[in-house]
Amino acid sequence: GRGRGRGGGRQWGSRKFRQQMMQDKQIQIQMQKNDHKVHQLRDRYPQYPDDILQAMLAFDATNAIASGRIDFPLIARILALIETNKFDPVKPDGTVDKGAVLVFLPGWAEIQKAQDTITDNPALSGLQVMPLHSMVPPQQQQEVFRRPTNGRRKVVLATNIAETSITIEDVVYVIDTGVIKCTTYDPATGFSTLGIVEEARANAKQRKGRAGRCREGVYFALYTKDHKDQRMCEELEPEMRRTSMEEIVLQVKMLQLVQPTQPSAAFLNECISPPTEDVLYNAVHHLKSLGALDTSCPETEETLTPLGVLLGTVPLHPQLGLTLTMGLLAGIMPTCTDLAAILGWTTPFTMPPPGREVFADQARWNLAGGVLSDHVAYKRLLESWKEWGSQNVGYFCREFFVSSTNLRGARSLSNQLDDTFRRMAPYLWSTSSNPSQRSFSNRNEQPNQRNIDPRQRDLPMRLPSPNELLLSSVLCKALFVSACRTHVSSKKRYNVVGLYSAQRQKLECHPSSVCGGKRSQE
């Protein structure tokens, strides 16, 4: 026969040929698995034809939900089905009563992806899409409760906040993606993360109840009945077992629910769903590193220090309470109070409208003034809010993409913290809050340079003031437990800066941070 030597035909040693052979083999194995699954589905659902079984095979809800994947094209197809008015009643005047649609999604990124999928579909151009999230400005959030007056169908894209916290009366259709975002705590690293997990049957029941509050509704679940019955748990794991416990341990000691030297675990282990040993150990170890618990006591004892008593009276995380204490001693109490109030409340920034992301990023960068620090940006934001925000609240919030509600809440918390420290340490508080005593805050700063006019664009870089340098020192001391280290790798054509935790886990800056994105390498 005709041979295939060097230079002619395919060679068994060719890399591309080997890859093609492997791909063909994988496809063949997958087809065999699919045939086996079809036989299993046919045995389970003998009443369904083969085309339905093939569709069920393509809709692999178990693997999709387990990996956090969402079928956005399927959501669009369901909305197209609803738009046929198949389920809508006809009013006496002959018009169709278009009920609103509520789509449950795990987070903001998924809400944006669903919104883009819907708006890019010409068949769904008649829908009025409204995201509902804490990052959305309050004025825009209120729009979801109003009935459309232009004859369009309203589609609300929301997280699990719409399960119980709010009620949208005109919702008739509910699309449940079967996933939810919740906080999980890793005792090995000490970090709390917000990840996508499968919802529980209790969540599914709540979401189903949102359909048709005023008339008969329709509920679309993007998972099979078998998945719900066999894979979903009855309830999500209690929050006590998946969050850090520093504040709880400190309050147990403050309320004297155990003896002065007795471990807090003696009380917490009596809870219906007690925290794990690793979570409690990390909490106690963290409090000892902050100085809230006496480190000279044996491992089997937990004794509050005077600093621990002080931190226990502050309605914040112990780390933020330590920030206030250090700021009090350093003479920059007002600055630390404002900063701790923002960190302890919620982010003041809102998500920008489509097409305005670059302007929002530039606004934050202007606040930071070229300093790679979110804390400095928060400090300067509150300073600017106090000077410019009272003059024109709406204009200020639009220019800086912030929420006036969140800023007012942070200011209220700041006043509460001021009152707390005024009662506990009146002499230190009066010294720290007196402008004549705070020489650092005014030195080398002109009055017109301290605050930022939102009307200015492309502000020049502002070096940190002595007050801000002192603030950085206070934060490094108080938040040192959460510090990470940098590592510069020059293996590539350019240097790459990596961030690593104390456990040598690679970290990344959040895109919303002034240190995130392209600036993380600067």
Q: How far is CA 107 from CA 132, 358, 456, in A?
A: 10, 21, 33
For residue 430, give the amino acid letter.
S
User: How much is the pLDDT for 104?
Assistant: 94
Indicate whether 510 and 459 sit together in one domain: no
Indicate whether 457 and 390 sit together in one domain: yes
Is residue 406 included in any domain, yes or no? yes
Indicate whether 78 and 124 sit together in one domain: yes
The alpha carbon of residue 22 and the mean position of all alpha carbons in its chain are separated, in whole angstroms, by 41
DSSP, collapsed to helix, strand or coil, labels residue 109 as helix
Is residue 44 included in any domain, yes or no? yes
Is residue 5 included in any domain, yes or no? no
Q: How far is CA 2 from CA 5, 9, 186, in A?
A: 9, 10, 63
Q: What is the DSSP letter of 387?
A: I
Render pLDDT for 367-408 as a digit per residue (tens, 0 to 9): 887 777 888 888 888 878 877 766 777 888 888 888 888 888
Render pLDDT for 342-373 as a digit per residue (tens, 0 to 9): 888 888 888 787 778 888 888 888 888 777 78
Structure tokens at 289: 């590193």
Is residue 255 included in any domain, yes or no? yes
Cα angle 141, 146, 148 (rounded to 5 degrees) comes to 120
Q: Which domain holds residue 358?
A: 318-478
Contact 448, 460 (CB under 8 A): no
Indicate whether 327 and 424 sit together in one domain: yes
Is residue 36 included in any domain, yes or no? yes
Cα angle 165, 401, 72 (rounded to 5 degrees) comes to 55
- In angstroms, the CA 13 to CA 124 distance is 52
Contact 368, 381 (CB under 8 A): no
Structure tokens at 379: 């400090």
Is residue 343 included in any domain, yes or no? yes
The domain boundary residue, chosen from 268, 296, 312: 312
What CATH number corresponds to the domain at position 230?
A: 3.40.50.300
The domain boundary residue, chosen from 444, 462, 478: 478
Q: Which residues on neighbouring strands pair with residue 158, listed in sequence order?
A: 104, 132
Cα angle 329, 332, 334 (rounded to 5 degrees) comes to 120
Q: How far is CA 181 from CA 61, 193, 220, 480, 495, in A?
A: 17, 10, 20, 28, 35
> Can you tell me the mean pLDDT for 261-265?
91
Q: Which of 43-57, 95-109, 233-247, 410-424 has the lowest mean pLDDT?
A: 43-57
Contact 380, 339 (CB under 8 A): no
Number of domains in the chain: 5
**Other CB atoms closer than 10 Å to residue 189's CB: what's the count?**
14
Q: At 264, is the pLDDT very low, low, confident or very high (cuts 50, 70, 90)?
A: very high
Indicate whether 216 and 347 sit together in one domain: no
User: How much is the pLDDT for 175?
Assistant: 94
* Secondary structure E strands in 84-190: 100-104, 127-132, 153-158, 171-176, 179-186
Quote the mean pLDDT of the chain.
78
Indicate whether 265 and 121 sit together in one domain: no
Contact 292, 307 (CB under 8 A): yes
For residue 497, give the amino acid letter.
V
Indicate whether 74 and 49 sit together in one domain: no
Render pLDDT for 188-222 as a digit per residue (tens, 0 to 9): 666 777 788 889 999 999 999 888 777 788 999 98
Indicate whether 328 and 395 sit together in one domain: yes
Indicate whether 426 and 496 sit together in one domain: no
Indicate whether 454 and 501 sit together in one domain: no
**Other CB atoms closer than 10 Å to residue 473's CB: what's the count?**
13
- In angstroms, the CA 330 to CA 323 distance is 10
432 pLDDT exceeds 70? Answer: no
User: How much is the pLDDT for 29?
Assistant: 60
More reliable by pLDDT, 452 or 303? 303
Closest listed residue to residue 186, CA positions, set 174, 194, 178, 198: 194
Is residue 402 included in any domain, yes or no? yes
Q: Which of 31-45, 85-99, 262-276, 397-411 has the lowest mean pLDDT?
A: 31-45
pTM as predicted: 0.69
Indicate whether 296 and 181 sit together in one domain: no
The domain boundary residue, chosen from 189, 205, 236: 236
In our burial notation (b when 16+ CB lie closer than 10 A, e otherwise), range 21-31 reads eeeeeeeeeee
- In angstroms, the CA 277 to CA 241 distance is 10
Q: What is the largest CA-CA distance in the chain?
A: 102
- In angstroms, the CA 232 to CA 346 distance is 31
Indicate whether 263 and 283 sit together in one domain: yes
Is residue 198 included in any domain, yes or no? yes
Which of 57-66, 272-281, 466-475, 503-512 is the most confident on average? 272-281
Structure tokens at 318: 């112990």
User: How much is the pLDDT for 517?
Assistant: 58
Q: Which residues on neighbouring strands pair with residue 496, listed in sequence order?
A: 489
